Amino acid sequence: MGTTKFEFYTEEQNELAVLAKAIGHPARIAIIEHLISVGSCVCGAIVNELSLAQPTVSQHLKELKNAGIIKGSLEGNAICYCLDEKGFAKLNAFFGEITTHFENKNNACC
Amino acid sequence: MGTTKFEFYTEEQNELAVLAKAIGHPARIAIIEHLISVGSCVCGAIVNELSLAQPTVSQHLKELKNAGIIKGSLEGNAICYCLDEKGFAKLNAFFGEITTHFENKNNACC
DNA sequence: AAAGTTTATCGTAATATTGCAATATTAATA
DNA sequence: TATTAATATTGCAATATTACGATAAACTTT
């Protein structure tokens, strides 16, 4: 136990869960917000933004990258990270369904 | 360690993280999708939908409820769960910012 | 009241996550 | 080529999550 039973779910459900889980940490929210506000890519300046040690930030970046939330490209010495539109497109599709659900007032009994 | 350092982040960042984290499990995605498709509330039928034991489902429902993703009301013997618009509103606001970010083509270097 | 239904809680084992110090890696620069 | 700078990886301790059997709680029906 302690392991999520991915085999019980559809590929789409697992994919959405991985994306949402990646966003589900305040440090990673902060990283995403920073990438939004800076407008374009940023390198290790993220370490200075957060009150976390460099290896910890690196690990969070890795998780965001693996999940498809950000992407990074080498810029000489530094690495340039920015948001990955694909990952957000999938999440947006999901949230779109929920918005429709509420608009249709299908949320009957509560 | 092993503990998220919530004190490093804004309340909003922590709140968004909690919401996203709650969605970040395929069983909980499946529960949300079920609540969407059934149109209105559903009780313990969720247990039959998922290949998980009843206590496990109950635990997932509790997490979704604590995070503000679903809400439940007593219906005699059964409990009626449905999506909580408030939680999704907060997430939607966040995703809205990201959509704007992409529309403005601020995603410069990647 | 007894029995059945439905959902929650407790306890626990297995595994995952978080965070960091130390260290490695890679590329630029002196 | 040594040195510096930027980022990644490793190893580890502390804590959290996932899942489930057993059981409890609350309400319905017989």
Strand D nucleotides in reach of protein CB atoms, 7 A cut-off:
5-11, 13-22, 26-28
Q: How many CB atoms lie within 10 A of CB B81?
A: 23
Architecture of domain A11-103: Orthogonal Bundle (1.10)
- Could you tell me the distance in Å between the CA of residue B79 and the C1' of nucleotide D29? 18
Burial (CB < 10 A; 0-12, 13-18, 19+), residue A52, is middle
Closest residue in B to A1 (Cα–Cα): B56
Provide the pLDDT confidence category of residue B77 given band limits of 50, 70 and 90: confident
Decide if B42 contacts A38 (C-beta within 8 A).
Answer: no
Strand C lies under 7 A from the Cβ of residue A74: yes
Cβ neighbours for A66, distance < 8 A, ≥ 6 positions apart: A22
For B37, name the nearest residue in chain A, comparing CA atoms only.
A101
Q: Which helix (H) or strand (E) holds B78?
A: strand B78-83
Q: What are φ and ψ of residue A50, in 5° steps? A: -100, 155
pLDDT reading at B58 higher than 60: yes
The residue lying closest to nucleotide C15, measuring its CA against C1', is: A2
CB B91 within 8 A of CB A73: no
| Residue B41 clears pLDDT 70, i.e. is over it | no
Q: Does B79 touch chain A (CB under 8 A)?
A: no
Interchain contact, B83 vs A73, CB within 8 Å? no
- Of B75 and A67, the one with more pLDDT: A67
Binning pLDDT at 50, 70 and 90, where does residue A109 land? low
A56–chain B Cβ distance below 8 A for any pair: no
Q: Which CATH number, 1.10.10.10, 3.30.70.100, 1.10.3720.10, 3.30.360.10, labels domain B10-103?
A: 1.10.10.10
Confidence band, pLDDT 50/70/90 cuts, at residue B40: low
Alpha helix (H) residue ranges in chain B: 11-23, 26-38, 45-49, 54-67, 85-103
Using a CB–CB cutoff of 8 Å, tell me whether A101 touches chain B: yes
